[in-house]
Amino acid sequence: MSLRFEHESFAQRVVFAAGEAAAKVAQEVMRLGATSVMLIASKSEADLARRVSRGIPVTLRFDDVVMHVPVEVAERARAAATGHRVDVIVSAGGGSTTGLAKAIALTTGLPIIAVPTTYAGSEATNVWGLTEGAQKTTGVDPRVLPRAVVYDAALTVSLPVPMSVASGLNAVAHCVDSMWAPRTDPINQAMAAEGIRALRLGLPALVDDPAGLLGREQTLYGAYLSAVAFASSGSGLHHKICHVLGGKYNLPHAQTHAIVLPQVLALNGPSAPDAERRLAAAFDSERAIDGLQDLRMRLDAPRALRDIGFTEADVPAAAAAILPTVPADNPTAVTTEILERLLRAAWDGADPR
């Protein structure tokens, strides 16, 4: 097969150093020549922020973090950053915290050093998100890509196992969707496949030994690769569906991804033989869907949208909202009926095999 594609790599320093976040963050602040830090972490992430910020000059602490970044919160944070004349943002927390840092960088151009404490992967993408009422808007801007990411698996040890599993499956979803997303290419696919390999080994190890670092380190590594692949390939059908569900029904991000993924893989896999072959190999399984479902079972993954606030009566309106967002080159042609069937199966937690 001939190779014709255009791939863009993003410039970002990536540091893996379990147990050494404070020293590595201080090193990154110095590299940027920054002297006045805005430290962002939610109230429940305060202890993580303290562990990360021991060696840096913090001028401003901001802990008003809300999932999906409401515009009013972003505006308050931007005003605080400008008022305190900070010259770098350090974010310590999950995707919501990273998301607020990105919202500030979007309008101020301030550089971000991100210290992720979940497996959401936002730190490795140039994608921002803001919500106004029930309307979630996302966009792409080079200013929001963190200049440096410090991955310290010790900071993820406190993430409860069910949240770790949901978040890790959010990363698996980035990998799977990267295989057929609009700008997929062999480089994204190689990273996504290596991401799945790391996640399918890391997540069971994490569940068996939540206080240990080995499983959590592999999971972070997989999460990073998944996000790089996702940022480069763009949103495929899976992300389009979860975007609508998260924004319109305020469903929890990671759990929604974990539940919807098998339904999308079962729909697209048979129409995308190359993706199916790569995914099956990455899962070390005969069929990709078997690899994913075996992993989900092993992890006791979230099962049904009905358990997280979505109702069967929501299905028609959700399908109607998703249909216009479906990528034109999705491997399987998608209709309202197909979306309704898929959403009903996700609502019910049916095994699509």
Taking the complex as a whole, how short is the minimal distance between the CB of residue 131 and ligand NAD, in angstroms? Answer: 9
Q: What are phi and psi of 147, to 5 degrees?
A: -70, -35
The smaller minimum CB distance to ligand NAD, of residues 100 and 279, is found at: 100
Considering the complex, what minimum distance in angstroms separates the CB of residue 144 from ligand NAD?
8
For 310, the 3-state DSSP assignment is coil
Work out how close the CB of 67 gets to ligand NAD at its nearest, in angstroms, rounded to a whole number.
5
Q: What radius of gyration, in Å, describes the C-alpha atoms of the chain?
A: 19
Distance CA 149, CA 137 (A): 24
User: Among residues 196 and 289, whose Cβ is nearest to ligand NAD?
Assistant: 196
Residue number with CB closer to ligand NAD (45 or 276): 45
| 46 vs 80, beta carbon nearer ligand NAD | 46
Nearer to ligand NAD, 22 or 34 (CB): 22
Query: CA-CA distance, 353 to 173, in Å (whole number)?
Result: 18
The pairing of strands 58-62 and 88-93 is: unpaired
DSSP 8-60: -PPP-EEEE-TT-HHHHHHHHHHHTT---EEEE--GGGHHHHHHH-TTS-EEE
Q: What is the DSSP letter of 246?
A: H
* Shortest spacing between CB 347 and ligand NAD, in angstroms: 21
Tell me the closest approach of the beta carbon of residue 129 to ligand NAD, in angstroms. Answer: 5
For the four alpha carbons of 147, 153, 157 and 160, in that order, the dihedral sign comes to positive
Taking 3-state DSSP, the helix, strand and coil percentages for the chain, each rounded to the nearest 5, stand at: 60, 10, 30
Beta-carbon contacts of residue 26 (< 8 Å; ≥ 6 apart): 54, 55, 56
Residues of this chain that interact with ligand NAD (CB under 6 A) are: 42, 44-45, 48, 67-68, 93-97, 99, 117-118, 120-122, 125, 127, 129, 155-156, 158-159, 163, 167, 253-254
- Minimum separation from the CB atom of position 56 to ligand NAD (A): 19
Which residues are within 8 A (CB) of 190 and not within 5 positions of it... i.e. 6 or more apart? none
Residue given tokens 């605080």 in the structure block: 80
Q: Got the DSSP string for 130-168?
A: EEETTEEEEEE-GGGS-SEEEE-GGGGTTS-HHHHHHHH
Residues whose CB falls within 8 Å of the CB of residue 20, separated by 6 or more in sequence, listed in order = 152
Residue 255 CB, nearest distance to ligand NAD (Å)? 9
Q: Which helix (H) or strand (E) holds 100?
A: helix 95-108
Which one, 215 or 269, has the nearer CB to ligand NAD? Answer: 215
CB of 134: closest distance to ligand NAD in angstroms? 14
CB 157, min distance to ligand NAD, A: 7
Report the residue number, 251 or 272, with the smaller CB distance to ligand NAD: 251
Specify the residue, 16 or 281, whose C-beta has the smaller distance to ligand NAD.
16
Rounded to the nearest whole angstrom, what is the least distance from the CB of residue 114 to ligand NAD in the complex? Answer: 11
Between 45 and 87, CB nearer to ligand NAD: 45
The two structure tokens encoding residue 321: 């909202």
For ligand NAD, the closer CB: 120 or 280 = 120
d(CA 171, CA 176): 9
